[in-house]
Amino acid sequence: MNRIALFGGTTEGRELAQRLADLPVQLVICVATAYGKELLEEELESRRPEGPEGNVFIRNGRMDAEKMKEFLQNENISLVLDATHPYAQEVTKNLKEACKSKEIDYKRVMRENESEEVMQEMCQNQQSIRVPSVAEAVHFLEGTEGNILVATGSKELEAYTKLSDYEKRCYVRVLSTREAVEKSLALGFQGAHLIAMQGPFSKEMNQALLKQVQASWFVTKESGAAGGFAEKAEAAKECGAVLVQIKRPTEEDADAVSVSEAAEWIRDSWLRRDPVPAAEKQEEMCRLSLIGIGAGSGMGMTREAWEAMKEADIIFGAGRMLEIPKMQGLPVWEAYQPEEILAVLDRNPAWKQAVVLLSGDVSFYSGARRLAERASEKGYPVRMLPGISSVAFLAARIQKELSGAECVSLHGRSCNVAAKLRSCGRVFLLVDKKETIKKLSKELNDFEMGRTRIWIGSRLSYPEERIYSGTAETFAEALPEAADLSVLYLENPNPRPQVISCGIPDEAFLRGKIPMTKQEVRSLTLSSLQLTRQSVVYDIGAGTGSVSVEAARIAEDGSVYAIERNPEGVELIRANRNRFAVPNLHI
């Protein structure tokens, strides 16, 4: 699929992204800041309530010319659309240079300059002046008096510090980002003289600001309709402020097109060009095989996986997994992060077959999915070869069925194991360290679930494989020498699926002398909240924790935070947490 890079978090950039999202292309949108990325994501989501498009990817971060070249090559870009701000001349220059060096199509997308007629009329009425740069505007304003509302962006603020008494005369309006505010403060713009806001701004908003700061001058760029120029001009006129306009750069691309023209050109011309070169490039790219090696020793690998390793130009993986191909004398490269692996592949275009070894099975709590997504984004053909997961391995060793059991993970994530044991009775669990096993055992014991049977599979498939069994009560006291990366099987001898409805009787709670929300009020409140299994709830002034407990029972895969300042209340919440076995209740 064709990959297009769209540079620019501008209004026209966001509009163009909407128009291209439905075309048969992969669109990589590049914005300078995390704030710009957030705005773009919100706009795309609001216009597409069914969810984000699978062909749209957003990147944020500033790039110089060299980084642009590297990005275009690594992302396998076929066309660059430059929808950056009209005044971002350095960015446009670097993009043109990068595209030329990589022989990539380039198209400049510009906002239409609707402000010309308005400006000519205002200049004739002596309501506005036009200058070629911010520096010229500062030079002009030095010979004037009165307050100045500055709306030329945080990048240009340093020039205004050359004005006499700039801290008193200038009121600067910048984006409400940390970067913009910190820069403004560092230059001496602070207090009422620093206005952090996100547009677009109406005429009324501009009027309110001009009146608030009692501005005699309003400095802005020739931003067209997309930049709200008409609203600024009308506000300045009605408030009696003179508009100081920075002219748009005259050295603009003669071949620049509007948003609608760009979308039409891509749809009717660019996508109809000869597709053979792109197809040939896809065929030439290295084929990536993601292989699940099973429990660890390689005993769980399929014959197809072994054949893929033998044919590979390079085999990636963590150090532990590379012991398998090393013993066969196969070429290896220790790396497991997607970005690192893909960077190595980009630097070695001669490779035709590559393998990535992953523990367990590629479809069960594996890093394979993220790697496959990133590789596919860059055009690499990907296939996945399954292995025997450590969960299946342990199930066979202890002769337990997987069917009917919950299979979950505490490896770098949270999970309400107690709730699953209470309802299902049987749980297979991945853990990342021994301390997790002990903490879980102690928690179950505190929840009066100490009779839960636990099997620990340690170093499965290796010569030093060990399987330990006991109860939550015994493992809470003393833990065997299990490996950090282990698999657990837990079995509750007395599972009792709980009724998930509101209204636990008041007498079921420990309450002491702390006020408690009554059963009827709890029932109505929680029913109105319409909580789901994944909800996150904050209970401020939690008292005895009765509302928190009921919320945690409903949102068993979410989190409930009970906030209480009374020490007696805190202890009661903790006691009720244990009484009702809700580990997802945090105090």
d(CA 52, CA 68): 26
CATH 3.40.50.10190, domain 2-110+257-277, yes or no = no
Where exactly does CATH 3.40.50.1380 map onto the chain? 2-110+257-277
Interval 404-434: pLDDT, tens: 898 988 887 788 899 889 888 999 999 888 8
The residue assigned the tokens 């033998």 is 310
> Which burial class, exposed, middle or buried, applies to 86 when counting CB atoms under 10 A from its CB (0-12, 13-18, 19+)?
buried
The residue assigned the tokens 């594996």 is 366
Interval 41-72: pLDDT, tens: 777 765 553 433 457 888 888 888 888 988 88
Fold of 506-586: Rossmann fold (3.40.50)
Interval 172-228: pLDDT, tens: 999 888 888 999 999 999 999 999 988 778 899 999 999 999 999 999 987 666 567
Q: Count the Cβ atoms, other than its own, within 10 Å of residue 146.
A: 12
Mean model confidence pLDDT for the chain: 85
Its pTM surpasses 0.75: no
CATH 3.40.190.10, domain 285-388, yes or no = no
Mean pLDDT of the 345-354 span = 88
pLDDT, residue 498, reads 66
Determine how β-strand 242-246 pairs with β-strand 287-292.
unpaired
Q: Which CATH number fits domain 115-246: 3.30.390, 1.10.10, 3.40.50, 1.20.1740?
A: 3.40.50
Specify the CATH architecture of the domain 391-491.
Answer: 2-Layer Sandwich (3.30)
For 325-346, the three-class secondary structure string (H helix, E strand, C coil) is HHHCCCCEEEECCHHHHHHHHH
Length of the chain: 587
End-to-end CA distance of the chain: 50
Where exactly does CATH 3.40.1010.10 map onto the chain? 285-388
d(CA 159, CA 141): 12
Interval 296-315: pLDDT, tens: 777 778 889 999 999 999 99
Where exactly does CATH 3.30.950.10 map onto the chain? 391-491
Residue that wins the pLDDT comparison between 150 and 126? 150
Q: Locate 264 and state its tokens.
A: 């039409």
Helices assigned H by DSSP within 348-389: 368-377
Where exactly does CATH 3.40.50.150 map onto the chain? 506-586
SS3 call for 366: coil
Q: Please say whether the beta carbons of 296 and 461 come within 8 A.
A: yes
Give which of 480, 518, 488 is closest to 502, Cα–Cα.
518
User: What percent of the chain is helix, strand and coil (3-state, nearest 5)?
Assistant: 40, 20, 35
Banded pLDDT at 141 (limits 50, 70, 90): very high
Mean pLDDT of the 156-180 span = 91
